[in-house]
């Protein structure tokens, strides 16, 4: 069942439906509201369109950084697993 959520942006309210689990969708809404609010506090004189573009760029930056971080973690886990498997193999050969 789709989740129904409310997004508050720059004094406007948007009712949204999401096919994702409600907890996940709510977390996305909170994150978007937080980034927009931070951007608005840091740049109170920007017009709404520029503010939204800047907020979108910040969210994109965060996404790219997380993807890179996750890739590093995955590669580290692969390497650790490979070394562990090699050690087990060496012990079994003894």
The 3-state DSSP composition of the chain as helix, strand, coil percent (nearest 5) reads: 70, 15, 15
Which residue range is the domain that position 30 belongs to? 3-93
What's the confidence (pLDDT) of residue 1?
Answer: 67
The length of the chain is 94
Average pLDDT, the chain: 94
Number of domains in the chain: 1
Is the model's pLDDT at 20 over the cut of 80?
A: yes
Sign of CA dihedral 15, 53, 39, 59: positive
What pairs with residue 15 in β-bridges?
A: 6
């Amino acid at each position: 069942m789709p989740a129904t959520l409310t997004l508050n942006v720059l004094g406007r309210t948007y009712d949204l439906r999401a096919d994702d689990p409600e907890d996940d969708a709510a977390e996305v809404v909170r994150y978007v509201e937080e980034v927009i609010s931070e951007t608005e506090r840091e740049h109170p004189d920007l017009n709404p369109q520029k503010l939204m573009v800047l907020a979108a760029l910040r969210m994109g930056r965060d996404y790219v950084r997380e993807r890179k971080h996750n890739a590093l973690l995955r590669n580290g886990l692969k390497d650790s697993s490979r070394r562990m498997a090699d050690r087990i193999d060496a012990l079994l050969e003894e």
